[in-house]
Amino acid sequence: MSTSADAGRDGGIAETGSEDAAHAGRVASHTRRAERVSGGLRLAISTLTIWRAGAPRADAAAVRVAMTAAPAVGLGLGAVAAGSAQLADWLTGSPLIAAVIAVAALAAQTRALHLDGLADTADGLGSNKPAEQALALMKHSDIGPFGVVTLVLVLGVQISGLAASFAIHRGPVAVIVAAMAGRLAITAGCTEPIPSARPGGLGSWVAGCVRVRTAVVAGIVVAIVAGALGLIVDPQTAALAAAAVALGLAAALVLLARCIDRLGGITGDVLGALVETSAAVATLVVAVRF
């Protein structure tokens, strides 16, 4: 009898020990996942903005999270820019000034990194040179005529679109949606089928790091968030905000296809060009009246 009882107790202890080990394993797994997400978010902030968020490990998992989380970074950047622009609108009563402040605030928070990428990409695509020479041209610090013209036109579209939105009380929503739509283009540009145009640089670091289905989910989430923000104003703005995400991304994908065909893949400059292109189209969509 005692032997049977001892065996039962030993079995109970063993079962309890197995449960404890399984629980500890689950806790450790959740901890690693939380650390991976936290590290990826901090990496996204440090890479895409002037704001420092520590020095997380830039391993493959962190890079994947960082590029997937790019629209969330855009939400934060857009919120800061929208607040600055709305204050300017209240103080001056000028939608144009508010729009300029919004664009300036976004550029300041990124050291104009994406605008620089837009100009360099325009120079590379407009050079009509072979891919290797075009890529070499894009690495130069100076801006050529194609870059200057493209910057003027894209900034003109962004400022005029935002000014029109501020004039009809959609300004802050337009700023935030444009910032998110622009960074969603980064997520799309880093999906698995898309190669890097050259070894080294940001492009080779992030190329193909995001799964297509993950990017699709990110796009749906961004469209929902944009629609929810638009609903603060009215249902029409909500519909336009969600459409702005889709149409901005579509424009960026057209440019991305051209860059892949012309340059062979993505670079850091190409990603910057995708950001500004998507944002410009998004600002126009939110400003539509009907």
The pLDDT tens digits for 185-225 are: 999 999 998 999 988 777 788 999 999 999 999 999 999 99
Q: List the structure tokens of 14.
A: 């063993």
- Contact of 285 with 243, CB cutoff 8 Å: yes
Q: List the structure tokens of 73.
A: 């970074």
pLDDT at position 109 over 80: yes
pTM of this structure: 0.87
pLDDT of residue 32: 58
pLDDT at position 5 over 70: no
264 DSSP 8-state letter: S
pLDDT of residue 237: 97
Which of 207, 64, 117 has its CA nearest to residue 56? 64
Q: List the structure tokens of 118.
A: 């837009």
pLDDT of residue 27: 44
CB crowding 238-270: b at 16 or more within 10 Å, else e: bbbbbbbbbbbbebbbebbeebbebbbbbbbbb
pLDDT of residue 272: 96
- Contact of 282 with 150, CB cutoff 8 Å: no
In terms of residues, how long is the chain? Answer: 290
